[in-house]
Amino acid sequence: MIENLQLGIETAVSPENLLWCFIGVLLGTIIGLLPGLGSATGVAILLPVTLTFEPVTALIMLAGIYYGSQYGASTSSILISTPGDSSSVVLTLDGYQMARKGRAGAALALSAIASFVAAILSLIGLITLAGPIARFALNFGPAENLAVMLLGLATIVSFAGSNVLRGVTMAAAGILVSLVGVASGFSTARFTFGSANLLSGLDFIAVMIGIFAVGEVLHQIRRGGERPIRAGFRDLLVTRAELRRAAAPSLRGTGVGFATGVLPGAGATLASFIAYGIEKQVSRFRTQMGKGAPEGVAAPEAANNAAANASFIPTLALGIPGSGTTAVLLGAFVIFGLQPGPLLFEQEPRLVWGLLLSFFIGNLILLVLNLPLAPVFAQLLRIPYPYLYPFVLMMSFIGAFALGNNTFTMAVVFFAGILGYFMKRYDFPAAPFVLGMVLGPLLERSLIQTSALGDGNLLIVFESPIGAILMSAAILAFAYPLASGIIRGARNRRKEPQEVGS
């Protein structure tokens, strides 16, 4: 462990990696605060720019964009009540109310402090847990891997809320899209409809650029923009009372965020909602929540940062993305010829530990950048969006071309953009779709291997204790929300006529 940490520090503090870490978190902050450009968008459109980098440098920069955007996204939520990223939607409640009461700077400072505390605590958790989980996962055979994939998909159901059915349908649709092309392990072309371009499948990053960059930008245009509330340097002073009130919610938010972030499919957005919901129930100041309470800023902000870091645990240790953005990052690993999963820790210790240790440096840079400079960043919200979005669209398409050096990739971005726009507009969740797309090929490979191992009998997955436990957890995670929802629905329907009758 100590050796790994030393190796990680040596890698992370090399001048080149430090520079790109700084650029990554700076770009992340800017991307995060601009409405319509979330972390997944930023990673997707800037990935082509890193193609000539060393893999570790590229991943340090791309990861910096991810967690940097968690800081930046809160600024637009607080100042213009328009979330820069879905993970900061909940900040529009108390953050924006604080801003309206003239405490914009304090809200920005509180969110930066809560983010930093959560980031550091969750990074300690990440570094402590990722290695042992990866080592444990080295014992997994095809059957256990199949069980892990199914558990990953099942957790999407658990966290899909009222969109349970919609969430699972989108995950399944993502799997279907991943199956386009010549089947792995077979020579059959599937869903190609006679197109030679589709034989090698749909480029994952191109689909992500379409859904997240093009789709998000156009959705933002449809929603319209707001004028920001001014935040001055002088308002950044947080009162001692505000800090005291934010301390416990920050720690609770960190715990909730970490626990949520390690689960595939849950992600930072859900973590922030849960943390806010819990705070509304347990806080001494719950009656002030929604009216500009510091607790309503600190808890969700800590939760989304902790979740963003924790989502690297399943991504790096198991190869299963914990969120939409880590799914895009997983695509970046593949582009650099790396396969995230337990073997990565054995084969690429310099990369893994360098990346993890760079998170500490990145978060420190972010605190320094965001605490005193938040009002400066806020000025970026004054850049007219009509000049910004055409550039983002151009960058998306040309970046997609750079990935495959063919114009077909741009057509994929275009159609994925249409899909992404309608998914956003009609509230079809993108995260399960993305997770489905990532897990599809892995799931099929495990299925083929397990089927070969069991001579056609897939039930051998229950034969090993680990497989049986994971499968039981998957079945429970899948069936419980559906069954309990149906039972509650039936109970409520029975109650209603009685209430009407009484």
Partner 1 sequence: MSTPAMAPAMAAWKRHRSDLIGTAVLGTVGTIATVMGLGYGVFTEGNRVGPGFLPVVVGLFILVAAGLELGRILFAGRALSEGSVMALVEDVEQEAAEQISETRREEQRDTFGRTAKQRNWAPLYIFAVLAAALLLVDLVGLVLSFALAVAFLIIVIERRPWWVGLLATAGAVAFIVVIFKALLGIPLPSGYLGLI
Q: Alpha-carbon distance 364 to 190, whole Å?
A: 48
Distance CA 110, CA 9 (A): 29
The nearest distance, CB 136 to partner 1, in angstroms, is 27
The residue among 360 and 414 lying less far from partner 1, judged by its C-beta, is 414
Residues 2 and 227: their CA atoms lie apart, in Å, by 50
Question: In this complex, which beta carbon is closest to partner 1, that of residue 190 or of residue 350?
Answer: 190
How many angstroms separate the most distant Cα atoms in the chain? 75
Cα angle 172, 178, 184 (rounded to 5 degrees) comes to 120
Lookup: tokens for 190: 């599937």
User: Residue 345 or 421: which CB sits closer to partner 1?
Assistant: 421
**Cβ 235 to partner 1 shortest distance, Å:** 20
**Least distance from partner 1 to the Cβ atom of residue 103, Å:** 16
Q: Please, what is the minimum distance in Å from the beta carbon of residue 133 to partner 1?
A: 25
Contact predicate 359/315, CB 8 Å: no
Question: What tokens does 496 get?
Answer: 């209603």
Minimum distance, C-beta of residue 165 to partner 1, in the bound complex (Å) = 4
- The three-state secondary structure class of 159 is coil
When the beta carbons of 359 and 478 are compared against partner 1, the nearer one is 478
Closer CB to partner 1, 170 or 327, in the complex: 170
456: burial class by Cβ within 10 Å (0-12, 13-18, 19+)?
exposed
Q: Is 189 helix (H, G, I), strand (E, B) or coil?
A: strand
Q: For partner 1, give the closer residue by CB, 281 or 498.
A: 281
Residue 456 DSSP class: T
DSSP string spanning 205-243?
A: HHHHIIIIIIHHHHHHHHH---PPPP--SGGGPPPHHHH
Task: In angstroms, give the least distance from the CB of 28 to partner 1.
Answer: 18
Cβ-based nearer residue to partner 1, 133 or 278: 278
Nearest distance, CB of residue 484 and partner 1, angstroms: 6
